[in-house]
Chains A and B, each alone.
Chain A
Amino acid sequence: MAPPTRPAGITRAATIVVIALLFSACSGGTSPSPSTVATIAPTTAPSSLPTTAPSASVAADVCTAPTAKAGTTLTFASYGGVYQKAQRQAWLEPYAKLTGVTFTESEDSANATIKAQVETGQVTWDVVDVGNDFGLDANKDVLEPLDYSIIHKDEILPGFAAPYRVADITYGVVLAYRTDKVGGQVPQGWADFFDLKKFPGKRGMYDYSAGGIFEVALMADGVAPKDLYPLDIPRAIKKLDTIKDQLVFWPGGAKSQELIGSGEVTMSLMWNGRAWSAKNLDSKPVAIQWNQQLLTSDYFVVPKGTPNKDEAMKFIAWATCAQNNAGPSQFIPYGPTNKNSKPQADKVPDLAVSNVNGTTAYFDDQWLVDNAKAIDDAYNAWKTK
């Protein structure tokens, strides 16, 4: 075994790829790649903007012909697995081709990491995909205000664009289950998730205090979606204790997909796209119960002090444009946040927004952000008992 010889071959291959990318970027790539355009329905967005929006020409440039400073490297942090792969294929790679920007990726997006980077003055992340519990004004000390002179705020669904964060996808926190391990019955909602008698087996759960664990416990205990907040944490904990021994905590989306795919858990709290992937990409007998889903979205933020702030803003503007925002829906059923974006047709039935009913619940982002520490303390104290 001679490790030193392998890197040589890889370096050669890598060099060729890099040169190819540079050439494609430099040869005046003024149009997005054919595949992207074909799957996203063309819209008339740029010319029908109200006057407060960026001027039509600027808008057209950013959305269709973005440019970037030569030699820019942007570090993109998200949640890994099939989700990040979809973002990579739909956004990072096309954008890199158009602008020549090189992307480095992190698959372990976390609010604490952003705070730590800003605090220590070593900001290495430029664009971060965060959950709904981050990016509001309480976090403004660690975030750059978004540049809405280039980002089309008015096209974003109402309520999904804030000074420091803009939504990039919509999705649902759902109950996923193994169709072959539920004894022929179909779990109807979170109450069944907590019913070990009717549905024996382990339960997968997101290892995160603000990821929905308390919300689903309360719903299982009979609390209506509109009454969830402020969270009655002691009540939720009491309910959680009834299944604590059967809980398998997953730290990230890929693990949740693996846990249910391998059958290690019978049911899991999951992000709908990962459950869909377990079924459609991994060919596992997994199904989603849409009742009582928590409909939410992820957001792009820019850590404060990043040296690539302007480039980061341009990328965010491009990714939230009508033409580009629905890109990931080619690969995973996550919905766009731009009103004028059309998600890929065959994914529409699997989108969280297509499965809203009277039982659908919503996070109270403001409450989660304002009470982040309290929730976290309670969660940690309970978890280690």
Chain B
Amino acid sequence: MPLTGPSAGRSSRRLRGGWTINRWAWLAFPTIALLVVFFLAPLVLMSLRSITDPPNAGLANYRTFFVSEADVRVLANTFYIAAISTVVCLVIGYPYAYLMNIVPPRMAGVLLIVVLVPFWSSLLVRTFAWEVILRDTGVINSLLISWGLISQPLSLIRNTLGVILGMSQILLPFMVLPLFAVMRRIDPEYTRAAANLGAPPAAAFRRIFVPLSLPGVAAGTLLVFVLALGFYITPTILGSPRETMISRFIADQVQQRLDWGLGSAMAVILMVVTFIALVLASRVVRLRDVFGALEDES
């Protein structure tokens, strides 16, 4: 007897227009309701506020943003820092994911835990730890000075370097997980076949494995970049005002300058940019892979 599930047939209803709805569907509605009321409505209203505050603003807030050199610089800065963090994550994450791929399963499990525990640990705690480590009077400088390697403290904080270090460490799991998920599915037969045909290991790696891992690279890169754009805590603590990223700018508009119109407009811009990046990526890789990686490993 074909298995169609206990819910099919008997409890489905045919609605107008050929849509069906079944009993299980109703379970989803309370959740949808909560999200619409407490999540979607705020976003929609805030977007509306960007064009209605001050009254009849229209696109004035957006114009104000793009006309202001300082504001545009913040946006450019955000992209810059996000891009560099992404590259750093890729450079560190790819070998690590590859290592996870080739070691025995138990070791891979350990390596996975090492990635997952920070993933779930408080971002604030981790950023604070970096602050303590990178300060002029922090761990690194204290050790280097006490060992006599340097006489003046290195400037590791309140600059782009400090921000990138902190952000990379926090974003690394988001690069490693999709990479690992894709790498895991690459059939080792391919590289074995290449070896049998006489290819040296390096060539097999470069010409077989790497191209096959590209969907993972795309997924990880995309995810990290998108998340990096929206970072607030880390750049605020580890950076100077020069490293102000757009989320900090939005928060300042709203909290300190009480300019809700401009703040909302910038929030909308950030949302749109994030959305575009994701849409672009969904052409390159199935987003299911990205979230699939998260759900498999979490």
The distance in angstroms between the C-alpha atoms of A115 and B254, with both chains bound, is 12
Is B73 on the interface with A (CB-CB < 8 A)?
Answer: yes
The distance in angstroms between the C-alpha atoms of A115 and B256, with both chains bound, is 9
Kindly identify which residue among B70, B74, B135, B256 contacts A110, using a CB–CB cutoff of 8 Å.
Answer: B256
Is A383 on the interface with B (CB-CB < 8 A)?
Answer: yes
B236 CB to nearest A CB, Å: 10
In the complex, what residues of B have CB within 8 A of residue A115's CB? 258
The distance in angstroms between the C-alpha atoms of A110 and B254, with both chains bound, is 13
The distance in angstroms between the C-alpha atoms of A376 and B74, with both chains bound, is 17
Contact A384 B135 (CB under 8 A): no
Residue-by-residue, is A344-385 near B (CB-CB < 8 Å gives 1, otherwise 0)? 000000000000000000000000000000001000110111
| Residue tally, chain A, CB below 8 Å to B | 20
A384-B242, A385-B70 known; A112-B137 Cβ under 8 A = no
In the complex, what residues of B have CB within 8 A of residue A249's CB? 240-241
Kindly identify which residue among B70, B137, B256, B258 contacts A384, using a CB–CB cutoff of 8 Å.
Answer: B70
B52 CB to nearest A CB, Å: 16
Is B122 on the interface with A (CB-CB < 8 A)?
Answer: no
A304 CB to nearest B CB, Å: 15
In the complex, what residues of A have CB within 8 A of residue B77's CB? 384
Is A241 on the interface with B (CB-CB < 8 A)?
Answer: no
In the complex, what residues of B have CB within 8 A of residue A380's CB? 70, 252
The distance in angstroms between the C-alpha atoms of A116 and B259, with both chains bound, is 10
Is A202 on the interface with B (CB-CB < 8 A)?
Answer: yes
In the complex, what residues of B have CB within 8 A of residue A116's CB? 255, 258
A263 CB to nearest B CB, Å: 6
Residue-by-residue, is B24-49 near A (CB-CB < 8 Å gives 1, otherwise 0)? 00000000000000000000000000
Give the number of A-B contacts (CB < 8 Å): 44
Is B257 on the interface with A (CB-CB < 8 A)?
Answer: yes
The distance in angstroms between the C-alpha atoms of A80 and B135, with both chains bound, is 23
In the complex, what residues of B have CB within 8 A of residue A113's CB? 255
Within 8 A of B (CB), among A174-218: 202, 207
A383-B241, A384-B241, A385-B70 known; A263-B137 Cβ under 8 A = yes
A112-B255, A376-B257, A385-B242 known; A262-B73 Cβ under 8 A = no
A210 CB to nearest B CB, Å: 12
The distance in angstroms between the C-alpha atoms of A58 and B240, with both chains bound, is 52
Residue-by-residue, is B214-241 near A (CB-CB < 8 Å gives 1, otherwise 0)? 0000000000000000000000000011
B131 CB to nearest A CB, Å: 11
The distance in angstroms between the C-alpha atoms of A115 and B255, with both chains bound, is 10
Is B244 on the interface with A (CB-CB < 8 A)?
Answer: yes
Is A119 on the interface with B (CB-CB < 8 A)?
Answer: yes
The distance in angstroms between the C-alpha atoms of A142 and B258, with both chains bound, is 14
The distance in angstroms between the C-alpha atoms of A41 and B257, with both chains bound, is 44
In the complex, what residues of A have CB within 8 A of residue B255's CB? 112-113, 116
The distance in angstroms between the C-alpha atoms of A113 and B252, with both chains bound, is 12
The distance in angstroms between the C-alpha atoms of A264 and B135, with both chains bound, is 8
The distance in angstroms between the C-alpha atoms of A385 and B241, with both chains bound, is 8
B127 CB to nearest A CB, Å: 15
A112-B258, A119-B258, A384-B73 known; A264-B136 Cβ under 8 A = yes
The distance in angstroms between the C-alpha atoms of A115 and B257, with both chains bound, is 10
In the complex, what residues of A have CB within 8 A of residue B258's CB? 112, 115-116, 119
Is A236 on the interface with B (CB-CB < 8 A)?
Answer: no
A112 CB to nearest B CB, Å: 5
Within 8 A of B (CB), among A96-133: 110, 112-113, 115-116, 119
Is A248 on the interface with B (CB-CB < 8 A)?
Answer: yes
The distance in angstroms between the C-alpha atoms of A337 and B195, with both chains bound, is 86
Contact A248 B70 (CB under 8 A): no
**Closest chain A residue to B135, Cβ basis:** A264
B134 CB to nearest A CB, Å: 11
B289 CB to nearest A CB, Å: 37
A380-B70, A384-B70, A384-B73 known; A202-B136 Cβ under 8 A = yes
In the complex, what residues of B have CB within 8 A of residue A247's CB? 240
Kindly identify which residue among A207, A262, A384 contacts B74, using a CB–CB cutoff of 8 Å.
Answer: A384
Within 8 A of B (CB), among A244-258: 247-249
Contact B242 A112 (CB under 8 A): no
In the complex, what residues of A have CB within 8 A of residue B137's CB? 262-264
**Closest chain A residue to B141, Cβ basis:** A264
In the complex, what residues of B have CB within 8 A of residue A119's CB? 258
The distance in angstroms between the C-alpha atoms of A207 and B256, with both chains bound, is 12
**Closest chain A residue to B242, Cβ basis:** A384
**Closest chain A residue to B153, Cβ basis:** A264
In the complex, what residues of B have CB within 8 A of residue A385's CB? 70, 73, 242
The distance in angstroms between the C-alpha atoms of A381 and B67, with both chains bound, is 13
The distance in angstroms between the C-alpha atoms of A380 and B137, with both chains bound, is 28
In the complex, what residues of B have CB within 8 A of residue A263's CB? 136-137
The distance in angstroms between the C-alpha atoms of A262 and B137, with both chains bound, is 7
Contact B70 A112 (CB under 8 A): no
Contact B244 A384 (CB under 8 A): yes
In the complex, what residues of B have CB within 8 A of residue A207's CB? 241
Contact A248 B158 (CB under 8 A): yes
In the complex, what residues of B have CB within 8 A of residue A264's CB? 135-137
New A-B pairs, 12, CB < 8 Å, besides A115-B258, A248-B240, A384-B73:
A112-B255, A112-B257, A116-B255, A116-B258, A249-B241, A262-B135, A262-B137, A263-B136, A263-B137, A381-B68, A381-B70, A383-B241
Chosen A-B contacts, 6 in total, with CB atoms closer than 8 Å, are A115-B258, A116-B255, A207-B241, A380-B70, A381-B69, A384-B242
A contact set with B: CB distance below 8 Å: 110, 112-113, 115-116, 119, 202, 207, 247-249, 262-264, 376, 380-381, 383-385
